[in-house]
Each structure stands twice: as C-alpha cells, then as structure tokens.
A and B are shown apart, each in its own frame.
Chain A
Amino acid sequence: MGEKKAVIVTENLTKRFKDFTAVDHINLEVMEGEIFGFLGPNGAGKSTAIRMLTTLSEPSEGTAKIEGYDIRHQSDEVRKRIGLVAEKLILYPRLTAVENLMFFGQLYGLNGTYLRQRIDDLVKMVRLEAFKNMPIGGYSSGMRQRINIMRGLLHNPDILFLDEPTALLDPQSIQFVHDLIRELNEAGKTIILTTHIMEEADQLSSTIGIIDHGKMIAVDTPAELKSKNGSESLLEVFLKLTGRDLRDSASNRVPMGMMRGPA
C-alpha cells in the first residue's frame, strides 16, 4: 500500500473582517482518505475556514493547497476536485431532483448519457428513484439532504466537504447519512466533516481538529484526544479545551453579511 499524502495543506491561513480575525494562522494537514472532523464552538471560525478551503472566500493572509493546487491562484483546479455539501441546501426547490442534478452536473462539464446514468446511479444509492421527478420543495428534510449530498458527488470529487450534514435530520436519516459517509470514505474519498454532534465526530472521524477563536487548538485522533485529556467522551474533551461559557460575546460574532453559513 502506498504512502498516504496530504491532500489539504494550509499555511498560516487567516481571515480578517475589518478588526475581527475569524481564522488566525491555521496550519493544518488532511491526509488522503481520512475523515477529518472539524469541531469548534459557535463563532470559532469553522465555516470561515471551510469557505476559504472551498474557494468561496478569499484569505486575508496565508494560503492552502488542495491536492497541490493553490486556493488563491488555481481555484478552478481546486473546484474540480472538491465537492461541497453546505448546511444550506444547494438545491432549487422548484426543480426536481433530476433537474437539479442535471444542472449542477453540466456545470461540472458532465453531460449526455454519462450524466444521466450517473444521476440514476446516485439517486438509486440514496433510494429516491420513486421521487426523482418531484420538485425538491416537496421532499422531507432527510430526502433533500440525501439529494444535496449526491449533488456534491456528481463530478466524483476526491475531497468532500460536509458542513453539518445531519443537522435537523431524523434518526433514520442520520444513520443513513453516516453509513453513506463511511461508504464514500471506504471508496477512497477524503471527507472534511464539520459538526456540533460529538458522537457523530467520534464515530466517523479518523482525525479531529478543534478550532477556537480562530486558532487550531488540537489535532489528533479521537482516541488520543480522549487519552491526552483524561476523558472518556469527546464532549468532555471539547468542553475542557474550549470552556463551558456560552459564546455570546461580540468577539465571537462574525459581522452580519460576511457569513453565509453557521459560524
């Protein structure tokens, strides 16, 4: 088996909004084929970091490379290799699942028979064949999220960013998504998972990175984090490292209009 390489490497990645630093000189490596759980309290900088890595936001300082391509200067190459499943559904509610997937597939240069077959395969994977020609607006939240994930996978990216993929889902849907994440990872995909659900991060992630106040404060396997911090649960580790105070102060709030996702 070949040596695994770092598919995401950040170098002093920083993002400032006027006098507020949301992400503060992060240096991070995500290895090929791992599930990287990205944790942090509200306002810690998770979503800002994800937005920079997915080329949706310009870094103020530093840079990152995705499979060797610079996010600032080779953003198109980065975009070809990543898939984004944001917390807000990237789906048009009036269009059907097929219409949505056809549109996004074509944006990635897929078309014709290949795209139709790919859509059929993905819809089958998430067991939504019977509903594929219904407008997405009529789906349940679980159904929408399944199609949302499929949308991120259309162009078969090597790296998948999943931002709160199970938020607001029922237990059955959560289980389905977890199984799907494992299946995708076993197929070789690198997954960056942000979540507030500690059990989810614990169960799924091979490596966990904890960010607070814009800085990476811990990066390790779940077992090592628990061991080093003398806790049996990841939740306790998290609270130990980030504190138990509620995050309502101004220093933790990103200015309105600067964010398009959860802090």
Chain B
Amino acid sequence: MRNGLFQDIQTTLLVTQKDLLDFWKAKMLVAFFMIMPILFMSMFGFMFPQTGESNPFSGKVSTPYKNAPIGIVLEDQGPFALQVADQFREMSSSTGLFKVQDFASFESAREQIVSGNLKGVVVIPVGFTEAFNSQRQATVIITVDDTNPQIASIIYSEATSIFKAISDGLSVSLIAKMDNGVDPSFVSKPISVENRDLIAGTANTFQFLAPGFIALTAVMGVLSGLGAAISREKEQGTMDGLMVAPVSRYSIVVGKILAQTVRGLIQGFMILIISMFLFGVRVYGNPLLMMLVMLLGVASFSGIGIIVTSMAAEQETAQMMMMMLQFPMMFLCGIVFPIEQLPNWLQAVGKLLPLYYAADALRKIMVLNASFSQVFLDIGVLGIYSVVTMGMAMPIFRKVMRR
C-alpha cells in the first residue's frame, strides 16, 4: 500500500479524474456546460455594446442609447430661441443621439413621456430670447423620464452636452464681435481637456465586464458544482465507498475541488475567448498571473462550498444554499457594475467577499497589465481567505462525514 503525501496526491488525482469522467459522460450536462457561457456572454455583450469616443460633434456615438425620442417645446418664439432650437435639432440628428419631435406645450410632451413614447423633453421657456438680448444667461429646461434612472442620466447628460456645445459656439461668436484682438476660442475656453487612455484602442465597456464574469463563472462553477458533487455522493451512497477506503479525507475533498476547478477554469476560458473574439476585449496582462488569481479565487470559495454542503442533508438544499450565496455576489462584488455605485455600507459588505478581490485583480491584470506587486493586496486577501476557509472546512467535513 502507498503511504504519505505521494499517496494523498495520487488519491486526489484519482478522485479528480473520476469526477471529470463522470461529468463527461453526462452528455446533456456537458452540452449545457458549453452553451451556458456562450449564452451568458452574448446576452450581456449585446446589452452593453462597444462605445466610441465621447464627443457629440465627432459623429461617433458615445452612448449605447441611440435615436432616443425627445420632445422640444418652444414657449419662446423669439429669434434666439428659434436659432438654438434649430441647432439642437441639427446636432441631435447629425450625431444620431436624439430623434426630436416638436410639441406645442410641456403638458402634451409630458403625456407622451408618461405613455412611454418620449424619453425626455427640452423646454425653451418664455423670456429666453429676451434674456439673451439683455446679456443675461438664458436657461433651457430639460425633463427626463425618471422611471429608468440609468437611461434618464444618459439622456440628460447628452442633451446637456449638446447645449454646452451650442453655448460654447455662441461664446466664441460673441467674443469675436467684441473685436478686441483677443482669440475668442481662448477667452471662451482657456483650458481644454484631452483624454489619454491607459490602454491602447477605444474604451470598451465589456473590458470592465469580462474579468468580472470570468471570475464569477469560475467561482460559481466551484460553489455550485462542488456542493452538488458532495451532496450527490452522499445521497447516492458512493460517499460511503470513498470514506470506507483507506485514503485521506482531505485528498478526497481536494480531488473534488480540483475537478470543479478544472470545470470552472474551462468555462472562464470560454468566456475569455468569446469576449475577445465577439466583443473586442483585449488581454494586456500576464496570463500566468491571471491563472494564479483564478486559482486563488476558486480556492477561497471551495472552503465555503465545503462548509455549506457538509451541513446540507440533500443535494437540493445544498444547491439552494449556494444560490443564496451566488446571487447577491453578482451585485455586491463589482461584477456587473462598479462597486462605487453602491451605498457605502453595501460596498463594505462587497469588500468582505473574496470575489471582489478576484474580479478586481483580474480586471487590473487584463485591462491595465498590472504586475504581481500591483495586485499583491488582492492576491494576499484571496490567499488568506483560501487558507482560513479551507482550514475551517476540512475538519467540519471530516466531522460531519463521521457523525
């Protein structure tokens, strides 16, 4: 009989091989395993299309929401009001941002917003032309559909950008008329702002999403797969066959973790390939460092998975418990949107979860080509989580299996 560490490693690999073979033989399961990341990424990828430069005058669209229907109400029929309204319509059309419709009154436009036919309305109020002629600041009023705050924010921001551009243009022409020899562009805008990208190429929203999804998929794979694997063995009786064999309990568990890790990494890799070829995501960083982060991320959740499933009597209970853990993580750990958008207290909760650090490190490596030292904190946290949770999980597993 074999002894010691060598035997443990062999047992681990044997259990891993058996689990992967068992999985491979479930053809329907394998099919869904392959389809799931494709569907998942396609859905999110087409929901968050690629963006161009953020400039409404360049002709490149900077918003994922094109040709938004927006109303315009001219309460002031003065020449300045008419001029500004014309400019707004022209810029909206040339940039493809808005589809502008005229309305006689704010109330009639409001009705259309409530009906869902308009996303906002621009009102040029009475006194607009008079204010301009009196050399006072003239104000336009923008009202947006608040039922969707994200869209509302985009509409408001883009409409404001158009009016800012119109206002800047007017500044230049007004200053030119003063004829004091000063460059009107300089007076109007003494400071300009230029964007310098950290990464080559155009900004891509999916560049933010892809690392998070890769981390999430690998982790979810381990959590749900490991839970199901252990619970299924308990239910079908084969766990007794493993436990009655003269092998280390730890090697059995590590073998199962390894099998689930391989599955998670395969799905993570599929997501990476889909992201790269379908949605233009580029990997600027070290693949080995990425792999290290993924492995630590998986290890940190394996311990949690073992603790939870050791306590679940049935597979169904284990799966429910895993879902309860996985679902909030998507929203708390900066996977779908930046964690900074959450209230402070929820951000603090998110930062307690290892997935946050895995996604954060992957993002920095993939997008910013971060080095080991630059993601050391993330890796360190994942390492500590791995050691602590696995350290807690093994004795619990052993104790529960020998009840």
Interface residues of A (CB under 8 A from B): 54-58, 76-77, 79-80, 82, 84, 86-95, 99, 103-104, 106-109, 135, 151, 256-258, 260
**Is B11 an interface position by the 8 A CB rule?**
yes
CA distance A127 to B403 in the complex (A): 37
A140 to B: closest C-beta gap in Å = 18
Residues of A within 8 A of B25 (CB): 94-95, 135
Number of A-B contacts (CB under 8 A): 77
- 11 A-B Cβ contacts within 8 A? A55-B402, A84-B241, A88-B237, A90-B237, A91-B238, A92-B238, A104-B245, A106-B10, A108-B245, A257-B313, A260-B239
Of the residues B236, B245, B402, B403, contact of A107 by C-beta under 8 Å: B245
B13 to A: closest C-beta gap in Å = 10
Q: Is the CB of A80 within 8 A of B1?
A: yes
**Is B66 an interface position by the 8 A CB rule?**
no
Asked, given contacts A57-B403, A103-B14, A109-B1, whether A94 binds B244 with beta carbons under 8 Å apart, the answer is no
Q: Identify whether the interface residues of A are mostly helix, strand, loop, or mixed.
A: loop
Residues of B within 8 A of A95 (CB): 18, 21-22, 25
Q: Which among A54, A57, A90 has the highest number of chain B CB atoms within 10 Å?
A: A90
Q: Is the CB of B402 within 8 A of A88?
A: no
Complex A-B, nearest 7 residue pairs according to Cβ-Cβ distance, in ascending order: A88-B237, A90-B241, A79-B246, A94-B25, A107-B245, A257-B313, A109-B1
The chain B residue sitting closest to A104, CB to CB, is B241
Residues of A within 8 A of B234 (CB): 260
The chain B residue sitting closest to A95, CB to CB, is B22
Of the residues A77, A86, A107, A108, contact of B237 by C-beta under 8 Å: A86
Residues of A within 8 A of B14 (CB): 103, 106-107
**Is B392 an interface position by the 8 A CB rule?**
no
Residues of A within 8 A of B236 (CB): 88-89, 93
In the complex, how many residues of chain B place their beta carbon closer than 8 angstroms to a beta carbon of chain A? Answer: 28
The chain B residue sitting closest to A76, CB to CB, is B246
**Is B242 an interface position by the 8 A CB rule?**
yes
Q: Mark B24-38, 1 if CB is under 8 A from A, else 0.
A: 011000000000000
Q: Is the CB of A80 within 8 A of B402?
A: no
Q: Mark B158-185, 1 if CB is under 8 A from A, else 0.
A: 0000000000000000000000000000
Q: Is the CB of B237 within 8 A of A89?
A: yes
Query: Which B residues, 29 to 68, have Cβ-Cβ distances below 8 Å to chain A?
Result: none
Asked, given contacts A57-B403, A95-B25, A107-B14, whether A82 binds B238 with beta carbons under 8 Å apart, the answer is no
CA distance A99 to B20 in the complex (A): 13
Residues of B within 8 A of A91 (CB): 238
B311 to A: closest C-beta gap in Å = 9
**Is B2 an interface position by the 8 A CB rule?**
yes
Q: Is the CB of A79 within 8 A of B22?
A: no
Q: Is the CB of B1 within 8 A of A258?
A: no
**Is B247 an interface position by the 8 A CB rule?**
yes
Q: Is the CB of A94 within 8 A of B22?
A: yes
Q: A80-B1, A86-B237 are in contact. List 8 more A-B contacts (CB 8 A).
A: A57-B403, A92-B238, A103-B14, A107-B11, A135-B25, A256-B313, A260-B234, A260-B237
CA distance A54 to B243 in the complex (A): 9
CA distance A55 to B249 in the complex (A): 12
CA distance A107 to B16 in the complex (A): 12
**Is B240 an interface position by the 8 A CB rule?**
yes
B6 to A: closest C-beta gap in Å = 11
B73 to A: closest C-beta gap in Å = 68
Of the residues A77, A89, A99, A107, contact of B242 by C-beta under 8 Å: A107
Residues of A within 8 A of B237 (CB): 86-90, 260
Residues of B within 8 A of A87 (CB): 237
CA distance A178 to B120 in the complex (A): 84
Q: Is the CB of A58 within 8 A of B402?
A: yes
CA distance A90 to B401 in the complex (A): 16
A106 to B: closest C-beta gap in Å = 5
Residues of B within 8 A of A90 (CB): 237-238, 240-241
CA distance A104 to B252 in the complex (A): 12
The chain B residue sitting closest to A110, CB to CB, is B1
The chain B residue sitting closest to A96, CB to CB, is B25
Residues of A within 8 A of B11 (CB): 107
Asked, given contacts A94-B22, A95-B25, A108-B245, whether A258 binds B240 with beta carbons under 8 Å apart, the answer is no
Residues of B within 8 A of A108 (CB): 1, 245-246
The chain A residue sitting closest to B241, CB to CB, is A90
A91 to B: closest C-beta gap in Å = 7
Q: Which among B10, B243, B246 has the highest number of chain A CB atoms within 10 Å?
A: B246
Residues of B within 8 A of A103 (CB): 14, 18
Residues of B within 8 A of A109 (CB): 1-2, 7, 246
A75 to B: closest C-beta gap in Å = 8
Q: Which among A94, A107, A151 has the highest number of chain B CB atoms within 10 Å?
A: A107
CA distance A257 to B311 in the complex (A): 9
CA distance A80 to B237 in the complex (A): 19
Q: Is the CB of A92 within 8 A of B403?
A: no
The chain B residue sitting closest to A83, CB to CB, is B244
CA distance A260 to B22 in the complex (A): 22
CA distance A90 to B402 in the complex (A): 17
